């Protein structure tokens, strides 16, 4: 493919990417505007908030594509795919009860981890932090500890603990493979999560085996020369991000069927998201 063909393909891919972002922002804005429950204990609110925090990264991808920084592009792309695969696991994999349990375990993973991180950091730091900052950190730890207890209560009240063995609950193992397995490596790898979330197998393995070398700055990241044409990487990144956006839109239509009815999504985007969803099922 010569430079002219690459430039034409780049413009086409860029157009689809920007149109996809516009549709996603429109839908998320509408859903957020009409969301009555703003507690993370509500899975609907939590998923919407999770998707909202990903959106700015698509804007950054757009900016970086102009700079043609391959490492930045592939690093952000990998992060976006990771986040999308989590969204899929929590909304579209297995039964609704298992999805809800995974969501609460996902929150538990956060509320249990953050106090430990704060404690470890503050205990080893030689910096004398302002008292206001120390007090804020303590409040966060107390709040997280209380939230952890609350999440355990909810899981028990909803009888979600009956779905899995106790070790999965205790370890906040939201990536569990087998609900009854007590020993061994009982969690999905990132590559497995990619495959679960309708990403084609060859791309799933590429994200893990190739893109991660750029994320971590390994040897392969040195092989690209400045004079090499970065457009194939730009086109590939914009293309996969458009597909991810379409899949996120499909998840939103599944999770918020009544609310989505009031939103006008373009016919072309509906067709695109259905093709992306069904093609990779």
State pLDDT tens for residues 130-176: 888 888 989 999 999 999 999 999 999 999 999 999 999 999 999 99
Instruction: State how far the Cα of 114 lies from the Cα of 41, in Å rounded to an integer.
Output: 17
Is residue 7 very low, low, confident or very high in pLDDT (cuts 50, 70, 90)? confident
Length, in residues, of the chain: 281
Q: Which of 35-39, 102-106, 204-208 has the highest mean pLDDT?
A: 102-106
Predicted pLDDT at 227:
58
Confidence of residue 119 (pLDDT cuts 50, 70, 90): confident
Place of tokens 């309708």: 198
Q: State the pLDDT at residue 247.
A: 96
Buried b (16+ CB within 10 A) or exposed e, 141-152: beebeebbeebe
Choice among 2-6, 37-41, 208-212 with the minimum mean pLDDT: 2-6
Rounded to whole angstroms, the Cα distance separating 269 from 6 reads 24
State the DSSP string of 63-81: HHHHHT-HHHHHHHHHHHH
Write down the pLDDT at residue 36: 79
Output the pLDDT for position 212.
Answer: 76
Q: Is a pLDDT exceeding 70 seen at residue 186? A: yes
The pLDDT score that the predictor gives to residue 2 is 60
**pLDDT at residue number 3:** 62
Q: pLDDT value at position 38?
A: 87
Checking if the pLDDT of 1 tops 60, the result is: no
CA distance 179 to 175: 10
pLDDT at 225 over 80: no
Looking at 121-135, 143-157, 179-193, which range is the least confident one? 121-135
Q: What's the confidence (pLDDT) of residue 123?
A: 74
Predicted pLDDT at 230: 80
Residue 175: C-alpha distances to residues 89, 98, 184 (Å): 8, 11, 13
| Per-residue exposure over 183-208, b if at least 16 CB sit within 10 Å of its own CB, e if not | eeebbbebbebbbbbbbeeebbebbb
Beta strands in the chain (DSSP E): none
Measured torsion, CA atoms of residues 59, 3, 230, 210, in degrees rounded to the nearest 10: 100
What's the pLDDT at 70?
83
Highest-scoring range by mean pLDDT, 24-38, 97-111, 134-148, 202-216: 97-111
Q: Are 72 and 49 spatial neighbours (Cβ–Cβ below 8 Å)?
A: no
> Residue 104: what pLDDT?
98
Determine the average pLDDT of the residues in 21-43: 92
> Is residue 211 pLDDT above 90, yes or no?
no
Decide: pTM greater than 0.85.
yes
Q: What is the DSSP letter of 223?
A: S
DSSP state of 197: T
Residue 10 tokens read as 């780049």
Please determine, for residue 224, whether its predicted confidence score (pLDDT) is greater than 90: no
Yes or no: say if 88 and 251 are a contact pair by the CB < 8 Å rule. yes
Q: Name the average pLDDT for the chain.
A: 89
Tens-digit pLDDT profile for residues 60-117: 999 998 887 888 888 899 899 999 999 999 999 999 999 999 999 999 999 999 999 9
Q: Beta-carbon neighbour count of residue 254 at 10 Å?
A: 12
């Amino acid at each position: 493919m010569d430079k002219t063909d690459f430039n034409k393909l780049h413009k086409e891919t860029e157009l689809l990417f920007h149109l996809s972002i516009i549709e996603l922002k429109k839908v998320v804005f509408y859903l957020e505007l009409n969301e009555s429950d703003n507690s993370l204990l509500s899975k609907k609110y939590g998923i919407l908030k999770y998707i909202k925090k990903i959106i700015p990264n698509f804007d950054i991808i757009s900016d970086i594509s102009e700079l043609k920084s391959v490492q930045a592009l592939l690093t952000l792309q990998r992060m976006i795919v990771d986040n999308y695969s989590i969204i899929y696991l929590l909304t579209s994999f297995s039964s609704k009860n298992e999805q809800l349990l995974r969501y609460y375990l996902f929150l538990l993973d956060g509320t249990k981890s953050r106090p430990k991180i704060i404690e470890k950091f503050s205990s080893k730091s030689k910096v004398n932090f302002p008292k206001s900052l120390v007090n804020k950190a303590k409040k966060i730890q107390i709040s997280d500890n209380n939230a952890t207890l609350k999440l355990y209560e909810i899981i028990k009240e909803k009888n979600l603990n009956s779905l899995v063995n106790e070790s999965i609950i205790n370890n906040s193992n939201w990536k569990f493979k087998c609900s009854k397995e007590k020993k061994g490596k009982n969690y999905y790898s990132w590559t497995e999560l990619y495959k679960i979330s309708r990403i084609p197998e060859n791309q799933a393995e590429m994200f893990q085996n190739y893109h991660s070398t750029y994320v971590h700055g390994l040897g392969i990241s040195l092989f690209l020369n400045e004079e090499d044409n970065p457009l194939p990487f730009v086109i590939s990144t914009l293309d996969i991000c458009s597909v991810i956006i379409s899949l996120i839109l499909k998840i939103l239509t599944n999770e918020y069927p009544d609310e989505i009815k009031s939103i006008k999504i373009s016919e072309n985007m509906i067709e695109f998201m259905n093709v992306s969803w069904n093609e990779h099922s």
